[in-house]
Amino acid sequence: MVDAPFRDLFQTLDIRGEDAAGCAELLSSPPSEHVKEALATLNGRLGTFPSEAIPTGPSGVHECSESDWIDALLRFAPTVADYHRRLGISPTVSSATLADVGLQLRINRRVHGKFGLDTWNWLTLHMAGNLFRLGRLQFHLIRAAGADDGATEPPSWVLGVHIPEGGSLSPALVDASFAEARSFFARHFPDKRVALATCDSWMLDPYLMDRLPASNIASFARRFTVERCTDAPTDAVYFTFRQRGLENLHALPRDTSLQRTVLERIDDGGTWQLGHGYLRL
């Protein structure tokens, strides 16, 4: 059972079971110097609309371990929730957004079989206060490529679209998510007018649309104009099977048409790609 001091926090972050025990252990001790360093970095990014996550390599806070980042994310989450409240964002949207912490902890346990968070840097986007889950999708408000804060004209803005794990990508759910995004950002960020949404995903690889044309994934992908593709050999395997790398693919299940499509392309010597696309809102 989670200790009372952490119960509300873990409910907001959707942290459960063994992951709750691991997080409670971290929070039961005062933050280390590395955790304080990570917290300072998160605080410096809050409200600045970063387009990139904090890098995992040797850059700035490179001495902070994965455990330090978990600790810092947990401690910083109430600050982000308060920032959401000051923007007038509903508790429902705030909790749905921050619940990705618990989801990523559960995914890490499935991938590695233990408590941890190898996607901690992805969650630094949520902690900057410009990424929100609205229905089925997540939307990341960022300056358009090439926008200059010092320019005479106001900078242009775009929404980066992300597809969290779980649930259907039915056209009705996706339509509802985009409709909510249009009203949400117009209401809470009226000075940041958005005309385009972008998506960089293996789901936008044209190969997938060709092989599974009647699927919800293909329906989602067809919403976007794909400008280019770049190689991403492991993404389809990771997001379909939650396996890092391309080893022992023969042991993976081929129960669904998506699983078979992902593996058969690799079997045939092909390489999965990221499709980089956009749509007009």
pLDDT at 134: 98
Q: Does a structural domain hold residue 235? A: no
Strand partners, 160: 140, 198
11/122 same-domain check: yes
Among 52-61, 83-92, 128-137, whose mean pLDDT is lowest? Answer: 52-61
72/38 same-domain check: yes
Is the pLDDT assigned to residue 149 strictly greater than 60?
no
Helix crossing, 91-98 with 66-86: angle to 10°? 170
User: For residue 9, which amino acid is it?
Assistant: L
Q: Does a structural domain hold residue 248? A: no
Is the pLDDT assigned to residue 105 strictly greater than 70?
yes
pLDDT, average across residues 201-222 = 96
Helix (H, G, I), strand (E, B) or coil at 198: strand
Residues contacting 149, CB < 8 A, separation 6+:
143, 155
Gyration radius of the chain over CA positions: 19
Q: Does a structural domain hold residue 10? A: yes
Average pLDDT, the chain: 93
Q: What tokens were used for 192?
A: 């940041």
Q: What tokens were used for 55?
A: 């890098």
Residues contacting 5, CB < 8 A, separation 6+:
27
Q: Does a structural domain hold residue 236? A: no
Q: Say which CATH number the domain at 171 has.
A: 3.40.630.120
Instruction: State the residue for tokens 């980042």.
Output: 69
Cα–Cα distance, 20 to 79 (Å, whole number): 20
Where a domain ends, among 110, 129, 148? 129
Q: Does a structural domain hold residue 41? A: yes
pLDDT at 61: 60
44/154 same-domain check: no
152/99 same-domain check: no
Where a domain ends, among 129, 161, 180? 129
Closest CA to 205 of 189, 217, 191: 217
174/279 same-domain check: yes
33/123 same-domain check: yes
> Which position has the higher pLDDT, 58 or 6?
6
262 touches 240 (CB < 8 A): yes
Beta-sheet pairing, 225-231 with 273-280 = antiparallel
Helix crossing, 66-86 with 33-45: angle to 10°? 40
Cα–Cα distance, 30 to 217 (Å, whole number): 45
CB atoms within 10 A of CB 230: 9
Where a domain ends, among 129, 156, 177? 129
Task: Assign 167 a pLDDT band (cuts: 50, 70, 90).
Answer: confident
49/92 same-domain check: yes
Cα–Cα distance, 158 to 200 (Å, whole number): 13
Residue 84's domain comprises: 1-129
Residues contacting 243, CB < 8 A, separation 6+:
111, 237, 252
Total of domains in the chain: 2
152/109 same-domain check: no
Q: Does a structural domain hold residue 210? A: yes
Q: Does a structural domain hold residue 241? A: no
125/137 same-domain check: no
pLDDT at 166: 87
167/280 same-domain check: yes
Residues contacting 261, CB < 8 A, separation 6+:
208, 211, 212
Stated pTM of the model: 0.93
75/135 same-domain check: no
* Backbone angle region of 30, left / alpha / beta, with phi > 0 → left and psi within -120 to 50 → alpha: beta
120/89 same-domain check: yes
pLDDT at 152: 42
Q: Does a structural domain hold residue 257? A: no
